[in-house]
Structure 1
Amino acid sequence: MTMKLADDCFFHDKDRMPHDEALAILKSRVRPVVDVESIDMHAAQGRYLAEPVRAPRDIPAHDNAAVDGYAFNHSAYNRQAGARLKVVGEAAAGHPYLTALSSDDSVRIFTGAVMPDGFDTVAMQEDILLEEQNGQAWVVIPPGLKQGANRRLAGEDSKLGAVLVEAGARLRPQDVASAAACGLNRLRCYAQLKVAIVSTGDEILRAGDRFVPGKVYDANAPMLEGLIEVAGAMPVDLGVLPDRADRVREALADAARDYDVLVVSGGASQGAEDHVARTIDAIGKRHLWQIAIKPGRPMSFGQIDDCVVLGLPGNPVAVFVCFLIYVRPVLARLAGGTWPEPVRYPIAAAFAQTKKQGRREFWRAKLTRKDGRLAVEKFARDGSGLISSLREADGLIEVAEEVTDVREGELVDFIPFTEFGLEPRR
């Protein structure tokens, strides 16, 4: 069943919300808004799991051989002197040896084959000596083998009933492999979140349009489309809205009826031609407007009925950073996933920089080496329109509100773009 938004999902009563408080509100109030469906396991990668995957039996289900060799009962073996045992049969993967055995017997066994009943140890093929006497094969096993050597135990990977993949996980290839190992062919997953993208402004041209002096091409929409796909949602580009209040109102109302989330770039401030914020105030609710961060201060969260509306600045760098830090985890949660928390790596700064107190800042940075050690270098230019800095960066340096300066050699919190599911720079 779809879970709808509360009317005050993002409500707060501050003009400029500190970063941590904004995240805390989002974490506590955002819930899944999509239905659950059963899908073929082969189409499950990248989807958010709605029900946990539990082991229906021990995995592996039987003790089995970890190597090619000879299986035997360790009680018939002298660890100091070794043993000479009769070879009475063969066991291969999928073809167990089922005949009753005595403690003085051994069985030729191949990797993955079920261990014969009563046998607990395997001597590796390359360590043994084979002999033949009166048409009977014998194996000479050297000394030194511990009981249980080269044997995989039943349940060694997972025990009956164990949770293999938690609900809310975004399924990776290795998670799908765990489900397949259980024999599952369908998984209960959340439906893909439908996210509409809207760009705003009379100055915006789309790719392929004839260039006009004074206008700019829209870099935000294709960037957002890629970021939304990486986040596991389904993006739809609705085009560019002009700076006309009636057109903006009509388009946002239509999008809110058809999509789970609406991501708007531009029109987030309170200028005379910034109609997005006023439109959301008129036909919906706008909350968390103005966050004490750089870049991206005028970002907003709101809703039109049950459609979440995420208002982003117009500058590409601010759009990119705000998406990674705020929009991506919100989309994951709305889509049924757990809140993704990026790992911050303490790395030495290969630069010195001052900043204003009282706001959280995210600096574009790339990894380098200094005195033979890994370090991080901040881009010298901070412009929010410098797409080149995004292309050349390896990640973001997160600088807390109370910090006023960073000294060379000091450890800073570095978040590589790979933490957000993005490919590394090559």
Structure 2
Amino acid sequence: MPLDEALAQLLAAVQPLAGTDTVATAEADGRVLAQAIVSGLQVPPHDNSAMDGYALRVEDVLAGADALPVSQRIAAGSMGTALQAGTVARIFTGAPVPEGADAVVMQEDCTVQEAADGSTRVQINTLPLPGQNIRRSGEDVARGDVVLAAGTRLGPAALGLAASVGMAQLQVVRRPRVALFSTGDELVMPGTVPPAQMPPGAIYNSNRFFLHSLLRRLGCEVTDLGIVPDRLEATVQALRDAAQAHDLILTSGGVSVGEEDHIKPAVQALGQLNLWQIAIKPGKPFAHGRVGDAHFVGLPGNPVSSFVTFLVLVRPFLLRLQGVSDVAMKTIAARADFDWPKADKRREFLRVRRNGQGGLELFPHQGSGVLTSAAWGDGLVDVPPGEPIHYGATVRYIPFGELSA
């Protein structure tokens, strides 16, 4: 099945989670907003100065006046009085602009004159314009504005915006509960067997580590069920147990077509399988279905295949599960500083990184088992089926920062 069709089918199967949590705004990074935030105030609350300088009436300067006396001093957090005609107010960044003033001239454009009697006058050395260096009340947020919509995935800027309208706590979608396990008799956990004593045919389970990290970054509560042996009855039991208290069961390995790949018959014995095999490279073996009330997603065992299919399929699925509407991959037009003449009939995702000349370099070995390519690279090039790439061509680049945050 083509990737876009598979992703559409996968997202259509999602019903956003119903439960919510109330968390402190400072602790809500990465969570998804369950309830829109409506501002109860103006931001900023008053017209205020964008500069350290002098608030004045433009007409006083246009009249060709000499140095103008300073009639008051206004710091941030204090309110001045109405500005007397023919005077200026010493004002600081963020301080409310006094009534009657219609411009602020920054101090660098003024000359301060101290008189013997202790009074201060200011010569304005530039011709001000009405509204200059004044931030208007409500220009950031107006009272009654929807500041952040439900379904917004909260980041640092959004948290600051919520705080700016007085939100100390936020109602967010509860965390998805994900059960994670790998299948394969060849898998060994790091720390259990030293590298020099690895049995023939054994490999360390790398998938568990990057999948766990990616799930946590997406706000999930992860139950790590370890490694399940390559036996049908063990796979069935692991799926049955995982379905009891989780929203998603995520596995890696066992979804190909070999005699030791038991995921497909195990899922079919307990529930249903809706997706099987995607036309992408790497990552053709991919499965989606249900086991009881839980979604099931099976990823390939090869580490790069597992990594890529998680980014392009599981990530948008989990975001939609939390109520995020815009889950599409964002691509950037970039220059290919490499040739890729061997076009595949499947859609390919090549591991690349940006170079100092603004182009993209290709990792020399694009095999689905070469996890070095993902650690070396900083993104993927999305290659349509049957399209070769020539040096200097414009390609669709997807930064890992876009996909793994």
TM-score under structure 2 normalisation?
A: 0.92
- In structure 1, the residue matched to 2:174 is 191
Structure 1 pair 331/308, CA: closer, same or farther in 2 (3 Å)?
Answer: same
Q: Which residue matches 1:293?
A: 280
Q: Match of 1:271?
A: 258
2:98 is the counterpart of 1:116? yes
- The alpha-carbon deviation at position 70 of structure 1 amounts to 2.0
- Conserved? CA contact 1:66–1:151, under 8 Å: yes
Instruction: Return the match for 1:25 from 1, 5, 9.
Output: 9
**1:86-125 correspondence runs (5 A):** 86-98=69-81, 100-125=82-107
Task: Give the Å deviation of 1:86.
Answer: 3.3
Distance in 1 separating the partners of 2:73 and 2:222 = 56
Deviation track 1:374-393 (CA, whole Å, cap 9, x = no partner) reads: 32233332321111112111
* Cα distance between partner residues in 2 of 1:209 and 1:278: 31
How far apart in 2 are the matches of 1:401 and 1:124?
A: 58
Q: 1:136 Cα shift?
A: 4.4
In 2, the alpha carbon distance for the partners of 1:149 and 1:304 equals 64
The match for 1:317 is 304
Go from structure 1 to structure 2 and tell me whether the alpha carbon gap of 1:214 and 1:48 turns closer, same or farther (over 3 Å shift).
Answer: same
CA offsets, 1:268-318, max 9 Å, x none? 123222221111111111111111111111101111122111100110010
Alpha-carbon distance change, 421 to 162 in structure 1, aligned in 2, over 3 angstroms: farther
SS, match of residue 86 in structure 1 = strand
- In 1: Cα distance, 2:119 partner to 2:336 partner: 72
SS in 2 for 1:282: helix
**Corresponding residue to 1:64 among 48, 51, 55:** 48
Given that 1:225 and 1:236 are in contact with CA atoms closer than 8 Å, whether structure 2 keeps it comes out as: no
User: 1:218, 1:147 → 2: CA distance?
Assistant: 67
Q: Which residue of 2 aligns with 1:41?
A: 25
CA contact (8 A) 1:130 1:137 kept: yes
Identity %: 39
**Which of 177, 189, 192 does residue 209 from structure 1 map onto?**
192
Q: Would the aligned equivalents of 2:17 and 2:173 in 1 still touch at CA under 8 Å?
A: no
After superposition, give the CA deviation of every residue in 1:168-209 in whole Å (9 maximum; x if it has no partner). Answer: 221111110001110110111111112111000111111122
Aligned amino acid, residue 129 of structure 1: V
1:87–1:386 distance in 2 versus 1, CA, 3 Å: same
Matched letter for residue 50 of structure 1: A
Residue in structure 2 matched with residue 378 of structure 1 by the alignment:
362
Tell me if 1:161 matches 2:148.
Answer: no
Letter in 2 for 1:193: P
- DSSP-derived class of the 1:116 partner: coil
Please name the residue that 2:317 is paired with: 330
Q: Which moved more, 1:263-272 or 1:348-357?
A: 348-357
Match of 1:147 among 130, 142, 148: 130
1:143 offset after TM fit, Å?
4.4
Is the 8 Å Cα contact of residues 17 and 174 (structure 2) preserved in structure 1?
no
SS at match of 2:358: strand
- Shift, 1:128, TM fit: 3.1
What residue is the counterpart of 2:396 in the other structure?
413
SS of the residue corresponding to residue 187 of structure 1 reads strand
Unaligned runs of 5+ in 2: none
Residues in 1 aligned to 2:297 and 2:62: alpha-carbon distance in whole angstroms: 72
Query: Over aligned residues, Cα RMSD in angstroms?
Result: 2.0
Give the counterpart letter for 1:378 in structure 2: L
CA-CA distance at 1:359 after TM superposition: 1.6
The corresponding residue for 1:257 is 244
> Is contact 2:52-2:92 (8 Å) kept?
yes
The alpha-carbon distance between structure 1 residues 421 and 266, as it changes in their structure 2 partners (threshold 3 A), is closer
The DSSP-based 3-state class of the residue aligned with 1:412 is strand
Which segment drifts farther, 282-291 or 353-362?
353-362
The one-letter code matched in structure 1 to 2:327 is P
Secondary structure of 2:170's aligned partner: strand
The Cα offsets for residues 379-417 of structure 1, whole Å up to 9 and x where unpaired, read as 3323211111121112111111242x2222222222121
One-letter amino acid of the structure 2 residue matched with residue 413 of structure 1: R
Q: CA deviation at 1:212?
A: 1.7
Q: Secondary structure at the match of 1:77?
A: helix
- Specify the alignment match of 1:52 in structure 2: 36
Aligned length: 400
Q: Which amino acid aligns with 2:147?
A: L
CA contact (8 A) 1:398 1:412 kept: yes
**TM-score calculated relative to the size of structure 1:** 0.88
**Alpha-carbon separation, structure 2, partners of 1:122 and 1:352:** 57
Structure 2 distance, partners of 1:129, 1:185, is: 43
**Residues 318-397 of structure 1 correspond to what in structure 2 (within 5 A)?**
318-355=305-342, 358-368=345-355, 373-397=357-381
